[in-house]
């Protein structure tokens, strides 16, 4: 960890009806102002609820230290795209961030680096910070291609106009998402070093400010180890972000 301020982001995925989502958001916001105020002094906490809950969550956390973001956005500002949500719409609801290129979107919706780059560009144009997800599959890791794949995704997904502070990268090995498996600390360190080096090649010294999160089965029990790795600047958390106590424990474990 460095001078960069950590970001602990919760990706609720397709989970949460109104009552549960609002209870969770209220609990986290109250924690940041109370027992979690020490954590709040050193890190940012973000929740990314399903699109249906962005507006109600934004209204219950208004004026607190908790922030809200989207899980995906369309590359266009508006138009004939049934079922999609634009970055501008998320901004309008009070979002500051939007996840783009999550592996579930890349797999379920056939998103390519090009799609992800266009979505990230839309986020920047709407004054949102895109959290750009990259990560290798298990087959790619087994074939010794993890570094090459992640470099290719990084370079292919980073939008024009990106700086060290207007985008966030999330390294999420696909095989670690929702599986309870995590890479070794050495592997995480190696991947994050590579991403930082790739960022330096595109952004120059701006790369020093870039936040690179780790994601994939981050839990209270492994958070201290994962978050303590050099060049890891926080976490993108799925399953464990759905329980206030677990998400708070992860934040508390983050240096």
Helix (H) or strand (E) segment spanning residue 15: none
**Marked catalytic residue, from 74, 97, 102, 192:** 102
- How far lies 85's CA from each of 22, 61, 78, 212, in Å? 21, 21, 8, 25
Q: Which of 21-29, 59-67, 89-97, 231-239 is the region at the interface with ligand PGA (rule: CB under 6 A)?
A: 231-239
Report the C-alpha gap between 147 and 139 in whole angstroms: 13
Rounded to 5 degrees, what are φ and ψ at 168?
Answer: -130, 145
Q: Does 70 bind ligand PGA (CB under 6 A)?
A: no
How far apart are alpha carbons 12 and 123 in whole angstroms? 20
Q: Do residues 114 and 83 lie in contact, with contact meaning Cβ atoms separated by under 8 Å?
A: no
Q: Can you tell me the distance from the alpha carbon of 210 to that of 212, in angstroms, rounded to the nearest whole number?
A: 6
Going by C-alpha positions, the residue among 245, 238, 213 that lies closest to residue 27 is 245
Residue 101 found at the interface with ligand PGA (CB under 6 A): no
| Residue (177 or 203) nearer to ligand PGA, CB | 177
Q: Of these, 6, 7, 11, 207, which contacts ligand PGA (CB under 6 A)?
A: 11
The verdict on whether 104 is a catalytic residue reads no
3-state DSSP helix/strand/coil % of the chain, to nearest 5: 50, 15, 35
In whole angstroms, how close is the CB of 33 to ligand PGA at the nearest point?
Answer: 25
**Which residue in the set 98, 237, 251, 254 belongs to the binding site for ligand PGA (CB under 6 A)?**
237
Residue 158 or 218: which CB sits closer to ligand PGA?
Answer: 218
Catalytic residue flag (residue 74): no
Q: Output the six-digit token pair for 140.
A: 């790619």
- Number of residues this chain uses to bind ligand PGA (CB under 6 A): 13
CB of 25 to ligand PGA, least distance (A): 18
Tell me the β-bridge partners of 70. 98
Under the binding rule (CB under 6 A), the answer on residue 49 touching ligand PGA is no
| Segment interacting with ligand PGA (CB under 6 A) among 54-62, 90-98, 160-168, 212-220 | 212-220
Instruction: Given the residues 97, 111, 172, 192, select the one marked as catalytic.
Output: 172
Binders in 142-181 for ligand PGA, by CB under 6 A: 172, 177-178
132 touches ligand PGA (CB under 6 A): no
Q: What are 120's two structure tokens?
A: 């990230």
The sign one gets for the Cα dihedral 202, 199, 176, 19 is negative
Q: 74 phi and psi, to 5 degrees?
A: -80, 160
Among 153, 157, 217, 248, binds ligand PGA (CB under 6 A): 217
Nearer to ligand PGA, 174 or 203 (CB): 174
Q: What are the residues binding ligand PGA (CB under 6 A)?
A: 11, 172, 177-178, 215-218, 236-240
Which residues are part of the catalytic machinery?
A: 102, 172
């Amino acid at each position: 960890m460095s001078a960069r301020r950590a970001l602990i982001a919760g990706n609720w995925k397709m989970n949460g009806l109104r009552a549960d989502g609002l209870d969770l958001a209220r609990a986290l916001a109250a924690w940041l102002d109370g027992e979690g105020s020490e954590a709040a002094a050193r890190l940012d906490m973000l929740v990314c609820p399903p699109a249906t809950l962005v507006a109600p969550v934004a209204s219950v956390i208004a004026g607190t230290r908790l922030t809200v973001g989207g899980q995906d956005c369309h590359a266009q500002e508006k138009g004939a795209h049934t079922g999609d949500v634009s970055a501008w719409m998320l901004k309008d609801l009070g979002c500051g961030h939007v996840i783009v290129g999550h592996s579930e979107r890349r797999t379920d919706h056939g998103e390519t680096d090009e799609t992800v780059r266009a979505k990230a560009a839309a986020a920047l144009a709407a004054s949102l910070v895109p959290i750009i997800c990259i990560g290798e599959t298990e087959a790619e890791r087994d074939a010794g291609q993890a570094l090459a794949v992640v470099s290719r995704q990084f370079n292919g997904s980073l939008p024009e106009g990106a700086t060290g502070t207007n985008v966030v990268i999330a390294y999420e090995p696909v095989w670690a998402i929702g599986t309870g498996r995590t890479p070794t600390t050495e592997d995480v360190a190696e991947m994050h070093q590579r991403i930082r080096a790739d960022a330096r090649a595109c952004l120059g010294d701006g790369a020093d400010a870039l936040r690179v999160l780790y994601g994939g089965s981050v839990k209270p029990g492994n958070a201290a180890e994962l978050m303590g790795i050099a060049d890891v600047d926080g976490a993108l958390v799925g399953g464990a972000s759905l329980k206030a106590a677990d998400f708070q424990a992860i934040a508390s474990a983050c240096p």
